[in-house]
Amino acid sequence: MRDASISPESGNTGYTTSRYLNQRQLSALTRIGDIFVPGGQGFQSFSESGSLYNVDIVLAPTPKDDLVAMKWVLTIFSVFNTKVLGWLLNQLDKAGQAMPAWADLLGSQLRLLVFGLRGIIFSLYYSGQGSPYHPNRVYEVMDYQVHCQPDSVPSSNTTDIHQAQPGMES
């Protein structure tokens, strides 16, 4: 069951604030995230994962001009309801397929826009980082467990790397 207090339709982004985006833009990004990552089969939706909490980490290295452009796009997208926004993103992703050859540059830029939005959403979602209020369980559901352990080496065959090598002065 979904917590209505953090639903993207309500405009509430689940306690998330940003140094780069306002609440309207965060809400649009949350709804775009739920379109790209709707959840199901044990996976959380984007909004349920709490991933938006870490948006500033992803946006920090973004060039200023790109950030300004993204903020404009998110502000424009924020006026659409989720159904219309999903249709629009689908159409933008297909841009260029039905356009005349002279419009190919425009189509490629529109597809690049959707590609960039997907990059932000997927970077946040698959980072495995959630918020203190809504932990991201994507790794748990995928049964993805990173564990690093050095190979055991018999002690008789080991060489102390800190010992001086023959012919080398320290």
Q: What is the dihedral of CA 6, 91, 77, 36, to 10 degrees?
A: 30
Q: pLDDT value at position 130?
A: 80
- Has residue 53 got a pLDDT over 60? yes
pLDDT-derived band at 158 (thresholds 50, 70, 90) equals low
CA dist 84 → 20, 80, 89, 90 (Å) = 25, 6, 9, 10
When the pLDDT of each residue in the chain is averaged and rounded to a whole number, the result is 80
CA distance 51 to 37: 11
CA distance 89 to 95: 10
The tens digit of pLDDT for each residue in 30-50 reads 999 999 999 888 888 999 999
Q: If you average pLDDT over residues 4-16, what whole number do you get?
A: 49
Q: Residue 156 corresponds to which tokens in the numbers above?
A: 């008789």
The tens digit of pLDDT for each residue in 66-94 reads 999 999 999 999 999 999 999 998 888 87
If you search the block for the tokens 């005349």, which residue do you land on? 100
Q: What's the pTM value of the predicted model, to 2 decimals? A: 0.72
- Has residue 155 got a pLDDT over 90? no
Residues 6+ apart with CB under 8 A from 154: none
The tens digit of pLDDT for each residue in 99-131 reads 666 567 777 788 888 899 999 999 998 888 888
* Of residues 107, 109, 75, 111, the one with CA closest to residue 93: 111
